[in-house]
Amino acid sequence: MTLQPVVEAPAARPRPRARAGFGVWAAALLFAGVSVVVGCRLADTDGITPVPQFLAFLPWLLVPTGLGLLCTLLARWWVGAVWGVVLLGLLAWFIEPYGKSAQPTGPALASFRVLTSNVEFGQATDALIEAVRREKPDIVFVAECEFTCDATLKRELGSDYPHREAVVAGGSEGSVIVSRFPLKGTDGVLGTLAMPGAVADVRGHSVRLQLAHPMPPLPGQTDVWRRELGALRDYASAGKGTPTVLAGDFNASQDHAAFRRILDAGLRDAARLTGEDRTPSWPTRTTPTFGTQIDHVLLSPDFSARTARFLDLADTDHRSLLVDLTLHQRG
């Protein structure tokens, strides 16, 4: 009796049609998610959660869009490929910097240096003091400066920065402006977190100063975030004709409609003026490779910005922003 060898049947391979179907579904899901965010950007609205959170990282939506395009090519889904190319074009358009970039040309009246820093519950106070002593800014905006932070700044910097306007509070609610120039306190902007304001006498010229620290767009609190950014827009609108510096942690990027409306009120972003408009400032664990720019120094048209540098400080999730400004005579 002769035994015949048993030949196993080859394992079934996925049919080309099944692979194509998977590619179509994968691309469609990626494109649908990106389309929602891009659609809100196109409509000049921040939408609802999770759209505001994704808008903060708008340039990074190029990654899922590119993956979707790869899936369409593998699946030979040409309608989807057109969809992906349109999304890429819109993203490229919106990644361009927003806001005016013209600098004033009138006679220079005064030059000074501004630093804004979120010290994350006061944890980065010592690192901030080192940066201040090294960089020697004239005005410093400090967000999330709680009781210990405030006392430490008074003790360590009080002789060099004798003028201050502060709201002393615990946790993330406290904020302070310290200055080499004389300050006259104002009511500031009302918000959940403290946003003190002042008028500085900069070598004989009055300059409005306002610290920005609206609530972040947390799920369920985006209405508060919009309202507080709207209050900062109202502050900017009310001061037209007066030199103004609005600086701090805005918890918003140029891809948020609520932030763009502040710029539309007549202010200019110092990072935009110096070519640093897409340099990320948060979160520091992944910057500068990955992140978004939510820390800003906004200026009225009276100012030119010569340089803007983002500084890495230990023990905080934000990078600090140092800007050299010149106040010009209007007209």
- Give CA separation, 200 vs 182, 203, 206, in Å: 6, 9, 6
Peptide bond into 288 cis (omega under 30): yes
Strand partners, 112: 325
Strand pairing category for 108-118 and 320-328: antiparallel
CA dist 331 and 311 (Å) reads 34
Q: How many residues does the chain have?
A: 331
DSSP letter at 106 equals S
Tokens of 171: 């946790």
What pLDDT, on a 0 to 100 scale, did the predictor assign at position 143? 98
DSSP letter at 172 equals T
What pLDDT, on a 0 to 100 scale, did the predictor assign at position 127? 98
Residues 6+ apart with CB under 8 A from 23: 71, 72, 74, 75, 77
Task: Give 44: exposed, middle or buried? Use CB within 10 Å, 0-12, 13-18, 19+.
Answer: exposed
State the Cα angle at 118 between 112 and 120, rounded to 5°: 155
Q: Smallest Cα–Cα separation from 322: which of 288, 296, 286, 283? A: 296
What pLDDT, on a 0 to 100 scale, did the predictor assign at position 251? 98
What pLDDT, on a 0 to 100 scale, did the predictor assign at position 129? 98
Given a cut of 50, the residues of the chain with pLDDT beneath it are: none
Contact between 272 and 101 (Cβ < 8 Å): yes
Strand pairing category for 268-269 and 295-299: antiparallel
**E strand spans, the chain:** 108-118, 139-143, 163-167, 175-179, 183-186, 197-202, 205-212, 244-249, 268-269, 295-299, 303-311, 320-328
**pTM metric for this prediction:** 0.92
CA dist 228 and 193 (Å) reads 10
What pLDDT, on a 0 to 100 scale, did the predictor assign at position 228? 98
C-alpha distance across the termini of the chain, in Å: 110
Q: 3-state DSSP call for residue 153?
A: helix
Q: 3-state DSSP call for residue 26?
A: helix
CA dist 141 and 195 (Å) reads 10
Residues 6+ apart with CB under 8 A from 151: none
Instruction: Kindly report, residue by residue over 23-67, the tens digit of the pLDDT.
Output: 899 999 999 999 999 999 999 999 999 999 999 999 999 999 999
CA dist 110 and 233 (Å) reads 26
* Number of alpha carbons in the 13 Å side-chain half-sphere of residue 8: 3
At 70, which helix (H) or strand (E)? helix 62-75
- Domains along the chain with CATH numbers: 16-95 (no CATH), 108-328 (3.60.10.10)
CA dist 94 and 102 (Å) reads 20
Strand partners, 198: 185, 209
**Other CB atoms within 10 A of residue 51 CB:** 18
